[in-house]
Amino acid sequence: MLEQAQQLLQQYFGYPTFREGQQRIITSLLEGQDTLGIMPTGGGKSICYQIPALLFSGTTIVVSPLISLMKDQVDALNSVGISATFINSTLSGKEVNERMQATMSGKIKLLYVAPERLEAESFIQRMQSLHISCIAIDEAHCVSQWGHDFRTSYLAIAPFVRSLPRRPILAAFTATATPEVTQDMARLLCLSEPNIYVTGFGRDNLAMNVLRGENKRDFVMRYAESHSSQPGIIYAATRKEVDEIQTAMRRKGLNVGKYHAGMTDDERAHNQEAFIYDDIRIIVATNAFGMGIDKSNVRWVIHYNMPKNMEAYVQEAGRAGRDGEPSECILLFNPQDIITQKFLIEQNMQSPERKSNDYRKLQTMVDYCYTPNCLNNAILDYFEDPSEQTPCGICSSCKDERELVDITIEAQKIFSCIHRMRERFGVSMIASVLKGSQNKKVLQYRFDQLPTYGVMRKSTEKEISDLINVLIAEGYLMLSEGQYPIVKIQQLAVDVLKGERQVFQKVHKEPEAAPGSMDETLFEQLRLIRRDLAAKAKVPPYIIFNDATLREMSEVCPITERAMLRIKGVGEQKFRNYGQPFLQFFQERSTQESYSLED
């Protein structure tokens, strides 16, 4: 039968051979075995049940969660001469009856329905007399409450199957499932001794990138302008952000659509279709957009905010490069994203177990944003992919050319501080103590009496927090679950404290000035900038920055915010109030020096 299957593949879809994993899954189904297929987005899951449906004698029912997915797949099947239809809430009663009659008379090979349809008594009764050879369940992870998109309607599938006079073959498919969710799918769908095929979670054609500390709006504008000829998706967490980003991009003259739940059905359908047919190249959307949209040539996906979990991220980022061509996935991360996602978790009315699971998944996503290791391998590790792992060479971590620096001493300071604080506080509080903050809570708990108080005062609290998060991502530390997680020491950190292990981090090396190399002319130029700022603010010049701070500036010549904040006397608030004119001065000076060297 496999030979017949390959002939049908060529006849209807124009492919001479099956992709990796497809052949094993199709063979399993043709042998009458319940089958669970876990395949990456764009891996060709639909062919795995569409081809067997043509060889089975009866009708195949496809359980699909989204109306847009049903329509797309039915249209595609009908266009190549395969009889398929769907029944969903967009149809009138008359249209439903007509499609049911066509199905009952044997004219339909594939019938697409939403999982909610399987709970309708009238539908169940009509299915009693239909020869159902197979039930294919798409997005099968929705049956598990430990998955990222749990839908209670999926729990109706197993009772529906039991109600049938003759049990059909069951085929379940998803692109994202941990081992825990895989077990849930097999159990809750009542698969009978299923063959389980995991064809891998890796996508060799996707360059995964995490960017921290970027001005998100500016980055998106620059990137979209330079890639406006290529189809791309920008995902944002809220409707408000979608509206604002799209408006700003249209002001720049870009042809950009949008998609979110606050729009009318007609507006969403129009924008979705315009994107599919390349009438607009870029769409800004919430995560409601894209599920099951079979647009193969999306060349880039930008996440304006960090998604809530790895499953959601892989699903959404995976909409890029479904044709196998090189594509780019960019996640713009800001610590504020964590607060936003925690707020959303707290707003959901769900069981304590589910909430705890959501927090655990969120922390995995935070770890992904901070890890210095290969991002593709981090995804494979999360899903416990059994394939051999090697650095991908194309992600932002693999291409990171920053210098590898020994930070064992800094790590020991952090671990020691956490230990002395009895492992009872979160990242921000630990950073405040290490910085030597005088804030109320630090003093209230008498942490200013600790030996580790202020031992990292040369760093900003943000730099210390970022370093703690890196150490969490690398397994030296662990965060407890919940809205206010506590930092705990792990065995790796104990080894570091004992001097049995070193810790390394990639960092930008700032240029160091030679002792006594202060340029007096430069110092005077800085004093003029300070004088102008003082006049505008109507304060004495030393309130802006004192002379010692200006002298250090003239020695270091900082051209980045990070370098500026390392200068004594330039705190975060001072930088926000007065730092930009000085930074701009040094940046322009650096550019002029570059031009003179070229001459």
Superfamily of domain 206-335: P-loop containing nucleotide triphosphate hydrolases (3.40.50.300)
Contact between residue 497 and residue 412 where contact means Cβ atoms under 8 Å apart: yes
Give yes or no on whether 2-198 and 403-507 have one common fold. no
Match domain 2-198 to its CATH number in 3.40.50.720, 3.30.1360.230, 3.55.50.30, 3.40.50.300: 3.40.50.300
pLDDT beyond 70 at 390? yes
Residues contacting 156, CB < 8 A, separation 6+: 115, 116, 118, 119
- Please give the CATH number for the structural domain made up of 403-507: 1.10.10.10
- Please give the CATH number for the structural domain made up of 520-598: 1.10.150.80
Domain ranges (residues) in the chain: 2-198, 206-335, 403-507, 520-598
pLDDT tens-digit series, residues 101-159: 999 999 999 999 999 999 999 999 999 999 999 999 998 998 987 766 778 899 999 99
Contact between residue 496 and residue 412 where contact means Cβ atoms under 8 Å apart: yes
Contact between residue 48 and residue 26 where contact means Cβ atoms under 8 Å apart: yes
Supply the pTM of this predicted model: 0.67
Q: For the chain, report the end-to-end CA distance as a whole number of angstroms.
A: 73
Mean pLDDT for 190-204 is: 87
Pairing of the two strands 195-198 and 35-38: parallel
Residue 506, CA distances (Å) to 97, 331, 422, 431, 561 in order: 64, 19, 29, 20, 18
pLDDT tens-digit series, residues 249-302: 999 999 999 999 899 888 988 888 888 878 899 999 987 665 545 677 899 999
What pLDDT is recorded for position 285? 93
pLDDT beyond 90 at 481? no
Six-digit token string for 127: 């299915």
